[in-house]
Structure 1
Amino acid sequence: MLTELSIRDFAIIDEISMTFNEGLTVLTGETGAGKSIIIDAVQLLAGGRGSVEYVRHGAKKAQMEALFIIDSDSHQIYETANQYGIDLQDGMVVLHRTITTGGKSICRVNGKLVTLAILKEFGKHLIDVHSQHETQSLLDPDNHIQLLDLYDEQQITNAKKEYTRLYEKLTALKKRYKELSENEQEISQRFDLLKFQQNEIEQANLVPNEDDQLEEERSQLANFERIYNSLQDAYNALYGEQKGLEWLNMANQALQNSKAHDSFINEKAEEMSNHYFLIEELMYSLSSYTDTLQYDPERLNDIESRLNEISRLKKKYGSSVNEILEYLGKIEEEMEQITDKDSHLSKLEKQIDETYQDAYLEAKQLHDLRQEAAQALTKNIHQELKDLYLDKTTFSVSFDTKTEQGEETKLQLHHNGFDYIQFQIATNPGEPLKPLQKVASGGELSRIMLALKKIFAKHQGITSVIFDEVDTGVSGRVAQAIAEKIQQISSQSQVLCITHLPQVAAMADTHKLIQKYAENDRTSTIVAELSKDEKITELGRMITGAKLTDTAKNHAMELLELASNYKKNSG
Structure 2
Amino acid sequence: MLVGLTIGNVVLIEKLELGFAPGLTVLTGETGAGKSILLDALGLALGARAESGLVRAGAAQAVVTAEFHLPTDHAALNLLDAQGIERDENLILRRQLGSDGRSRAFVNDQPVSVAFLKALAEHLIEIEGQFETHGLLDPATHRDLLDGFGGHKIELARTVEAYRQWKAADNALGEAQAVLEKARADEDFLRHAVAELELADPQAEEETKLAMERQLLLAGAQVIDAVNAAHQDLAGDKGADRALISAERRLQRLGDKLGEALGAELAAIAGSLDRAGVELRDAIAGIQNLQSSLDADPARLERVEERLHLLRDLGRKHRVRADTLPDLLADLSARLQMIDGKSGDIAGLAARAAETRKAYLAAAGALTQLRQKAAKTLDAAVTKELAPLKLEKARFATRIEALPDAQLGENGADRIAFEVATNPGAEPGPIQRIASGGELARFMLALKVSLSRAQPVPTLVFDEVDAGIGGATAAAVGERLKRLAEQLQVLVITHSPQVAALGAQHWRVEKKVAKGVTSTTVATLTKEQRREEIARMLSGATISDEARAAADKLLKGAA
Give 2:114's aligned amino acid: L
Distance 1:78 1:562, change over 3 A: same
Does residue 43 of the first structure (1) align with residue 43 of the second (2)? yes
1:447 aligns with 442
Give 2:127's aligned amino acid: V
Provide the C-alpha distance between the structure 1 equivalents of 2:176 and 2:47, rounded to a whole number of angstroms. Answer: 40
TM-score (norm 1): 0.62
1:119 aligns with 117
Q: What is the DSSP-based 3-state SS (H/G/I as helix, E as strand, rest coil) of the residue aligned with 2:554?
A: helix
Q: What is the DSSP-based 3-state SS (H/G/I as helix, E as strand, rest coil) of the residue aligned with 2:66?
A: strand
Give 2:60's aligned amino acid: K
1:457 aligns with 452
Does residue 82 of the first structure (1) align with residue 77 of the second (2)? no
Q: What is the DSSP-based 3-state SS (H/G/I as helix, E as strand, rest coil) of the residue aligned with 2:122?
A: helix
Does residue 499 of the first structure (1) align with residue 494 of the second (2)? yes
Work out whether residues 360 and 413 of structure 1, in 8 Å CA contact, stay in contact via their aligned partners in 2.
no
1:52 aligns with 52
1:379 aligns with 380
Distance 1:356 1:126, change over 3 A: same
Q: How does 1:518-533 map to 2 (within 5 A)?
A: 518-533=513-528
Distance 1:42 1:60, change over 3 A: same
Work out whether residues 536 and 553 of structure 1, in 8 Å CA contact, stay in contact via their aligned partners in 2.
yes
Does residue 513 of the first structure (1) align with residue 519 of the second (2)? no
Provide the C-alpha distance between the structure 2 equivalents of 1:497 and 1:398, rounded to a whole number of angstroms. Answer: 30
Alignment gaps of 5+ in structure 1? 189-331, 406-411, 565-571
Give 1:388's aligned amino acid: L
Q: What is the DSSP-based 3-state SS (H/G/I as helix, E as strand, rest coil) of the residue aligned with 2:538?
A: helix
2:148 aligns with 150
1:162 aligns with 161
Give 2:369's aligned amino acid: D
**1:171-202 C-alpha deviation (Å, 9 max, x unpaired):** 967997999999x9xx99xxxxxxxxxxxxxx
Q: How does 1:459-478 map to 2 (within 5 A)?
A: 459-478=454-473
1:10 aligns with 10
TM-score (norm 2): 0.64
Give 1:41's aligned amino acid: A
Distance 1:422 1:463, change over 3 A: closer
Provide the C-alpha distance between the structure 2 equivalents of 1:473 and 1:479, rounded to a whole number of angstroms. Answer: 9
- 1:30: how far off? 1.8
Q: How does 1:169-568 map to 2 (within 5 A)?
A: 169=168, 356-403=357-404, 412-414=407-409, 416-427=411-422, 430-564=425-559
2:23 aligns with 23
Q: Report percent identity of matched pairs.
A: 37
**1:325-372 C-alpha deviation (Å, 9 max, x unpaired):** xxxxxxx9xxx89x98xx99x889888766654443333233122122
Distance 1:60 1:417, change over 3 A: same
- 1:531: how far off? 1.7
Alignment gaps of 5+ in structure 2? 187-330
Distance 1:350 1:133, change over 3 A: farther
Q: RMSD value over aligned CA atoms?
A: 3.6
Distance 1:56 1:177, change over 3 A: farther
Q: What is the DSSP-based 3-state SS (H/G/I as helix, E as strand, rest coil) of the residue aligned with 1:125?
A: coil
1:99 aligns with 97
Q: What is the DSSP-based 3-state SS (H/G/I as helix, E as strand, rest coil) of the residue aligned with 2:451?
A: helix
**1:507-539 C-alpha deviation (Å, 9 max, x unpaired):** 111111111123444321111111222222221
Give 2:557's aligned amino acid: L
- 1:403: how far off? 4.0
Work out whether residues 166 and 358 of structure 1, in 8 Å CA contact, stay in contact via their aligned partners in 2.
no
Give 1:86's aligned amino acid: I
Work out whether residues 80 and 122 of structure 1, in 8 Å CA contact, stay in contact via their aligned partners in 2.
yes
**1:423-468 C-alpha deviation (Å, 9 max, x unpaired):** 2334455554444345433333222211211233333353322111
Give 1:384's aligned amino acid: E
Provide the C-alpha distance between the structure 2 equivalents of 1:69 and 1:140, rounded to a whole number of angstroms. Answer: 26
Work out whether residues 152 and 367 of structure 2, in 8 Å CA contact, stay in contact via their aligned partners in 1.
no
**1:265-298 C-alpha deviation (Å, 9 max, x unpaired):** xxxxxxxxxxxxxxxxxxxxxxxxxxxxxxxxxx
Provide the C-alpha distance between the structure 2 equivalents of 1:436 and 1:2, rounded to a whole number of angstroms. Answer: 28
Distance 1:414 1:560, change over 3 A: same
Work out whether residues 63 and 97 of structure 1, in 8 Å CA contact, stay in contact via their aligned partners in 2.
yes
- 1:97: how far off? 1.4
Distance 1:478 1:135, change over 3 A: farther
Provide the C-alpha distance between the structure 2 equivalents of 1:546 and 1:554, rounded to a whole number of angstroms. Answer: 16
- 1:4: how far off? 1.9
- 1:170: how far off? 8.0
Larger-gyration structure (1/2)? 2
Provide the C-alpha distance between the structure 1 equivalents of 2:116 and 2:383, rounded to a whole number of angstroms. Answer: 38
1:294 aligns with none
- 1:14: how far off? 1.2
Work out whether residues 6 and 64 of structure 2, in 8 Å CA contact, stay in contact via their aligned partners in 1.
yes
Provide the C-alpha distance between the structure 1 equivalents of 2:526 and 2:177, rounded to a whole number of angstroms. Answer: 70
